[in-house]
């Protein structure tokens, strides 16, 4: 089966979908795309199941040769994509002919980009997901980041009616920024914060530290303190959990986070705002804005309704 | 029992704040109850030392219970009802998993130092380690990594101040009065006393993880 050929691999290019949920009780971390919103939108655009696997990549980005005719879409970070030198913007359907080369000229905005193909990549799911689990070395493409010379097939057939001129409407595209404010809901140990730290958490900005990766983002900034030191017996955590380290620093858990942790959980970044965080790199900044858990849930429902409308629109286009 | 939101799609049921078998049994009982009788939108339950994480899809919860104030309040209400009538016993049928272990040398690079510091020979140290069965309190850290206890106080050992950047797969470690086995090569700070050849996590198996929370584990010298 013909698909894509990896000419150069980029710094960290992996196969990711919406993650391997359902086995956290075995210590199995869910993995999955950092910017799930981008992945879902370009999959829906292409008529794929929204959980279809895509390539997640950083800059320097991979160079990809198409070895079959394909429809594809790019989303997430903007890396000035070129197909045989011709610009191919994010959030649009594009057709590629066999032999054409996709490369990324320069980082413009964001840290993580996604390449999805109509029909999906020919990757066998492991424990219900095609995501790469780098720590345990399974899933995705041979359980590892892509290397030069890798070939990945494309599944399924292509419904040509769906594709010409299709794009993701601009109201759905996240407002990526290098200094976003993300919304935050209180977690189990939030009540243990000092009044000053509670205030500083929402008024001071934080900077993404260099030792940040797919497991978590370390934040530099104001030291945050609890009323009393608190050591927690290891307890479950989630994507977006903001943990307080013993030195007063913060860490936000990202897609490859462990299933449990012993650091106090001050709160969680709202799911609708995790894409904004996922597009940050070391040196970028972030601020937190408090919302209630009820409000967080309402914002999630509103976002899901918009995505539902887009999905229905794409399904109608396919008829 | 306290219930806290974790994210829009997860919450924490906290039975206590210090490690005790009573709380671990409660967290396991709640997780098993939810797995056996899932509510609409339930994804999974994660038992831990003193708490259970409950993961759910809030959209499905709200569609199934449109009158509820929020998915969080609905799921917490269900959990309070379950907890009120949940039966907890520690004489449940336990699985026993036998783990062959080689002590010391390259397999357990910290054994000699730990034994000497306690005025024990390596053989005496190993004998104390082998003398009791352990209980799997929870899984976490890495796929298939079981937190087990309780290690005899005479051989308990604090974590390394600076974790090793590379711990070999199958290494058996001690951290305080806990013991655990690294299912994969990874960084780690537990003191290493031996190693096993068992595959702790294999995606090709029907049950990928060798251990489950609640298991009884017996180490055997080889």
The per-residue pLDDT for A230 is 85
The per-residue pLDDT for A316 is 85
The per-residue pLDDT for A229 is 86
The per-residue pLDDT for A258 is 93
Q: Give SS3 for B142.
A: coil
> How would residue B91 be classed by pLDDT, with cut points 50, 70 and 90?
low
Report the complex ipTM.
0.95
Task: Name the residue among A217, A205, A191, A198 with its Cα closest to residue A290.
Answer: A198
Judge: A237–B43 Cβ closer than 8 Å, yes or no: no
Closest Cα of chain B to A245: distance in Å?
Answer: 16
Task: Name the residue among A275, A302, A299, A298 with its Cα closest to residue A286.
Answer: A275
Return all residues near A168 (Cβ < 8 A) that are at least 6 apart. A41, A42, A45, A75, A91, A92, A310
The chain A residue lying nearest B58, using CA atoms, is: A297
Q: pLDDT over 70 for what percent of chain B? A: 98
Helix H or strand E encompassing A42: helix A36-45
The per-residue pLDDT for A160 is 61
Structure tokens at A132: 């790469």
Q: pLDDT over 70 for what percent of chain A? A: 97
The per-residue pLDDT for A231 is 78
Q: Are A251 and A272 in contact (CB under 8 A)?
A: no
Residue A141 has pLDDT above 90, yes or no: yes
Q: Are B23 and A255 in contact (CB under 8 A)?
A: no
Give residue-wise pLDDT tens across range B23-74: 999 999 999 999 999 999 999 999 999 999 999 999 999 999 999 899 999 9
Residue A157 has pLDDT above 80, yes or no: no
Taking only residues 204 to 263 of chain A, the set having a beta carbon closer than 8 angstroms to any beta carbon of chain B reads 232-241, 258-261
- In this complex, the residue of B14, B43, B144 whose CB is nearest that of residue A27 is B144
Chain A residues inside the 8 Å CB shell of B212: 25-26
Averaged confidence pLDDT in chain A = 94
> How would residue A118 be classed by pLDDT, with cut points 50, 70 and 90?
very high
Q: Are A148 and A283 in contact (CB under 8 A)?
A: no
Alpha-carbon distance of B216 to B152, in angstroms, equals 16
Give residue-wise pLDDT tens across range A260-286: 998 999 999 999 999 999 999 999 999
Q: How big is the A-B interface in CB pairs under 8 Å? A: 155
Rounded mean pLDDT of A199-205? 97
Rounded mean pLDDT of A213-224? 95
Residue B212 has pLDDT above 70, yes or no: yes
The per-residue pLDDT for A319 is 73
Taking only residues 143 to 202 of chain A, the set having a beta carbon closer than 8 angstroms to any beta carbon of chain B reads 185-188
The per-residue pLDDT for A55 is 98
The per-residue pLDDT for A156 is 73
Averaged confidence pLDDT in chain B = 94
Q: Give SS3 for B110.
A: coil
The per-residue pLDDT for A103 is 98
Residue B133 has pLDDT above 90, yes or no: yes
**A270, A272, A275, A276 alpha-carbon torsion, rounded to 10°:** -70
B43 in contact with A, Cβ within 8 Å:
yes
Alpha-carbon distance of A243 to A254, in angstroms, equals 11
Helix H or strand E encompassing B116: helix B111-117
Please tell me the pTM assigned to this model.
0.94
Backbone angles phi, psi at B99, to 5 degrees: -120, 110
Q: pLDDT over 90 for what percent of chain A? A: 88
Worst-scoring range by mean pLDDT, A183-192, B2-11, B130-139, B161-170? B161-170
Could you tell me the strand order of the sheet in which A54-57 lies?
A14-16, A54-57, A109-117, A70-78, A93-96
The chain B residue lying nearest A28, using CA atoms, is: B143
Taking only residues 109 to 138 of chain A, the set having a beta carbon closer than 8 angstroms to any beta carbon of chain B reads 126-127, 133, 135-138
Give residue-wise pLDDT tens across range B153-203: 999 998 888 889 899 999 999 999 999 999 999 989 999 999 999 999 999
The per-residue pLDDT for B27 is 94
E strands present in chain B:
2-7, 10-14, 42-47, 51-56, 96-103, 134-139, 146-149, 164-167, 171-175, 178-181, 186-188, 191-195, 216-221
Judge: A185–B8 Cβ closer than 8 Å, yes or no: yes
Chain A residues inside the 8 Å CB shell of B31: 25
Judge: B8–A270 Cβ closer than 8 Å, yes or no: yes
Closest Cα of chain B to A190: distance in Å?
Answer: 10
């Amino acid at each position: 089966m013909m698909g894509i050929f990896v000419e150069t691999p980029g710094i960290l290019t992996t196969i990711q979908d919406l993650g391997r949920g359902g086995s956290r009780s075995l210590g199995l971390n869910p993995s999955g795309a950092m910017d799930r919103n981008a992945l879902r939108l370009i999959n829906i655009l292409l008529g794929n199941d929204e959980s279809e696997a895509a390539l997640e990549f950083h800059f320097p980005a991979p160079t990809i040769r198409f070895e079959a005719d394909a429809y594809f879409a790019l989303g997430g970070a903007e890396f000035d994509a070129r197909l045989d030198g011709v610009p191919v913007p994010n959030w649009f359907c594009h057709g590629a002919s066999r032999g054409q080369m996709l490369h990324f000229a320069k980082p413009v905005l964001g840290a993580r980009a996604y390449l999805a193909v109509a029909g999906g990549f020919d990757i066998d799911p492991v424990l219900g997901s095609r995501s790469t689990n780098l720590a345990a070395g399974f899933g995705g493409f041979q359980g590892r980041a892509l290397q030069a010379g890798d070939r990945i097939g494309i599944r399924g057939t292509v419904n040509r009616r769906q594709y010409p001129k299709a794009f993701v409407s601009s109201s759905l595209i996240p407002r990526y920024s290098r200094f976003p404010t993300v919304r935050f809901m209180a977690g189990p140990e939030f009540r243990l914060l000092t009044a000053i730290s509670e205030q500083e958490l929402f008024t001071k900005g934080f900077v993404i530290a260099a030792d940040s990766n797919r497991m978590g983002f370390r934040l530099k900034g104001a030291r945050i303190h609890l009323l009393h030191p608190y050591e927690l017996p290891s307890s479950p955590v989630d994507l977006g959990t903001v943990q307080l380290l013993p030195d007063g620093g913060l860490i936000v858990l990202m897609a490859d986070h462990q299933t449990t942790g012993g650091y106090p959980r001050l709160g969680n970044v709202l799911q609708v705002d995790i894409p904004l965080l996922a597009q940050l790199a070391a040196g970028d900044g972030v601020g937190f804005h408090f919302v209630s858990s009820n409000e967080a849930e309402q914002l999630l429902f509103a976002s899901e309704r918009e995505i539902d409308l887009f999905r229905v629109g794409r399904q109608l286009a396919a008829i | 029992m306290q219930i806290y939101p974790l994210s829009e799609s997860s919450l924490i049921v906290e039975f206590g704040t210090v490690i005790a078998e009573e709380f671990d049994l409660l967290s396991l009982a709640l997780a098993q109850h939810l797995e056996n009788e899932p509510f609409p939108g339930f994804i999974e339950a994660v038992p831990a030392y003193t708490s259970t994480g409950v993961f759910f899809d809030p959209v499905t919860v709200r569609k199934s219970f449109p009158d509820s104030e929020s998915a969080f309040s609905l799921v917490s209400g269900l959990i309070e009802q379950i907890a009120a009538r949940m039966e907890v016993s520690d004489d449940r049928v336990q699985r026993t998993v036998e783990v062959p272990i080689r002590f010391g040398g390259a397999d357990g690079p910290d054994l000699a130092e730990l034994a000497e510091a306690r005025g024990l020979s390596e053989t005496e140290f190993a004998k104390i380690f082998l003398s009791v069965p352990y209980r799997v309190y929870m899984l976490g850290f890495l796929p298939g990594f079981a937190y087990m206890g309780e290690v005899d106080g005479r051989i308990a050992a604090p974590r390394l101040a600076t974790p090793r950047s590379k711990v070999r797969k199958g290494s058996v470690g001690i951290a305080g009065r806990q013991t655990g086995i690294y299912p994969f090569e990874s960084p780690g700070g537990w003191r290493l006393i031996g190693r096993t050849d068992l595959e702790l996590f294999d995606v090709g198996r029907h049950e990928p993880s060798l251990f489950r929370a609640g298991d009884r584990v017996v180490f055997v010298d080889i």
